[in-house]
Amino acid sequence: MKSLIIILLALVIAGNVHADDKYGEFSRYLSKELEKQYKLFKPECDLCACYLGIDPSYNSSQISLRYSSFKYYSEGIPVESDPNVDHGDTGTDPSTEYYNRVEVTGRYYMNPSVRFLINIPYSLNNIDGKRIKDFGDVSVIGQYQLYNTRVEAETDFRNRVFVGGGVKAPTGAYNKSIVYGEVEPHFQPGTGSFDFLLSGTYLARYKSNLGLSTDVIYTINTTNSNEYRFSNRFNVTSTLFYIINAGKRTHTGTEWTFLPHSGVYLESAGLDTQDGVNVDDSGGSVLFATGGIDIYYNQFDISFTYQGPVSQSLNGDQPQNKYRFYIGAGYSF
């Protein structure tokens, strides 16, 4: 379509060189109209209704490797000083917990409206020097593009909506033991339960550089063979980003693209249950401020994201969130 417009435009302009005033005026008018129509279809795609993307590889299938680290800290409970009471070991010491994970993630577009997301994690957890590592639970999500602003006219604002769902299979280890004693469920690499995921994604771009990305996931957990059930969980992240193009242009876009971003991330959960009884020291809500940058070079990309807690309300006696960060590298095809 775009090639045909270019040919017609060239013929009209060429004919205008030798036309008389009457036909020359008409050809100039037609030339302007063709130029206007040509602009409706520029610049990335030869299809007349190309799809919006928020970054250079968003409409492509992709495979990535990502490392993440979450730090938690507990102050501990001091023992009251009373010479008339033999307290023994009734206090608790400070505790530092690290939940580290290496993930292989994939994104596959079956067509422009249907995509699948897969996550294969490997956990390397550490609580006060007590280490445990193994594969976690594999998750697969399918999403359908419910709405998309088609690029059929010049517009400053474009957006798209994905909705879908998936499953998290109990492929990870959840009965690991260590020499220091019993491992509580949240320290295990896996959950031991078959869980269901509901997801939604909203993407928007204003003009060519400023954008917003919002992701929502609701997890419906089931009971594992140990009669432990993690509470259902709600996660939402909303991020503003700005696209900076640099370097020479290629057939896929610019050679270098920088995408700084910042936003908020909220996670919330109720109380877990053990044998049908509520676990008091579980669940709550945390709000994080997030920031980072993604860097793209042709089909390759690297990314960094940092999350710091703004407010947290946790049930019972739980360690507090200190920070989270993610580092990743990917290839689009």
Residue 5: pLDDT above 50?
no
Cα dihedral 222/228/232/236 (nearest 10): -110
The pLDDT score that the predictor gives to residue 123 is 95
Crossing angle for the helix pair 2-16 and 21-40, nearest 10 degrees?
A: 160
- 118 near 89, Cβ under 8 Å? no
Which tokens sit at 22?
């009457």
Do residues 310 and 289 lie in contact, with contact meaning Cβ atoms separated by under 8 Å?
Answer: yes
Tell me: pLDDT of 226 over 90.
yes
Exposed, middle or buried by CB within 10 Å (0-12, 13-18, 19+), for 156? exposed
**What is the CATH topology of the domain spanning 62-332?**
Porin (2.40.160)
pLDDT beyond 50 at 53: no
Pick from 8-17, 128-137, 238-247, 258-267 the range whose average pLDDT is largest: 258-267
pLDDT at 187 over 50: yes
Mean pLDDT to the nearest integer, 116-131: 93
Instruction: List the single range of 10-19, 168-177, 190-199, 215-224 with lowest mean pLDDT.
Output: 10-19
The whole-number average pLDDT for the span 133-147 is 95
**Which residue ranges make up each domain of the chain?**
2-40, 62-332
Calculate mean pLDDT across residues 10-24: 49
Asked if residue 151 has pLDDT above 70, the reply is no
* Residue 13 pLDDT: 47
Q: Is the pLDDT of residue 100 over 70?
A: yes
Q: For the whole model, what pTM was predicted?
A: 0.77
Report the pLDDT value the prediction gives residue 112, as an integer from 0 to 100.
85
pLDDT of residue 162: 94
Residue 83 has pLDDT above 70, yes or no: no
pLDDT exceeds 60 at position 43: no
Q: What is the pLDDT of residue 209?
A: 87
SS (H, E, C) 54-112: CCCCCCCCEEEEEEEEEEEEECCECCCCCCCCCCCCCCECCEEEEEEEEEEEEEEEEEC
